[in-house]
Amino acid sequence: PLCIAFVARLLVFPFAHISHPTLWAYGTIARCMLAGQGYSVVWRGLGVVSKPYPTAFMPPGETMIHFAGMWLLGDNVHGYIVIFVLHALCGVGFVYFSGKIVAKIFHNTRLTTITLWLAALYPSFLFATATFGVAAPVLFLNAFFMWSALSLVEAVQTGQKIIQRTVVFGVVSGLL
């Protein structure tokens, strides 16, 4: 299901508005970072463009995806393709962690398989890849967060890998 999930997400590429994607504040912050202005945002409105101001307005996960794409190949179509592919990979991560969550909770192979295929092919999850917004990464991060929370609970109960699971849980929480 993971390979099919990746290919299915790549197939929504024609719907991605790749030449003029809406990058929202994530793209604005990424552009400020690329310009050496740090994690900042430029406010636009009433015909006025402000100077960059440091911000905590947006969580860093999606901003870092935009930054990676633009840093690798530029603030252009090639960079936006990288962002799209990173969103597709987030979709695969969502499928993976959805399966892990269901397996951990229900211990049922059939239910896990159904979950994997639904997460891999459900249309809303596929088209989340093409939005250039937070949908695909948030699906991934929320599933990763839930899995890490369940893993931390399991570690506390068994007394094994508590520090490791706590660190993973903390990092994932910070990216949300």
Mean per-residue pLDDT of the chain: 93
pLDDT in tens, 132-146: 888 899 999 999 999
Alpha-carbon distance of 71 to 32, in angstroms, equals 12
Share of the chain above pLDDT 70, in %: 100
Angstrom distances, CA of residue 75 to CA of 54, 106, 161: 21, 44, 41
List phi, psi (to 5°) of 122.
-65, 125
Q: Can you give the pTM of this predicted structure?
A: 0.90
Instruction: Give Dmax over CA atoms of the chain in angstroms.
Output: 59
Alpha-carbon distance of 110 to 68, in angstroms, equals 37
| DSSP 8-state class, residue 21 | -
pLDDT in tens, 47-106: 777 888 898 878 888 899 999 999 999 999 999 999 999 999 999 999 999 999 999 999
Angstrom distances, CA of residue 152 to CA of 93, 141, 157, 160, 176: 19, 16, 9, 10, 17
List phi, psi (to 5°) of 44.
-125, 140
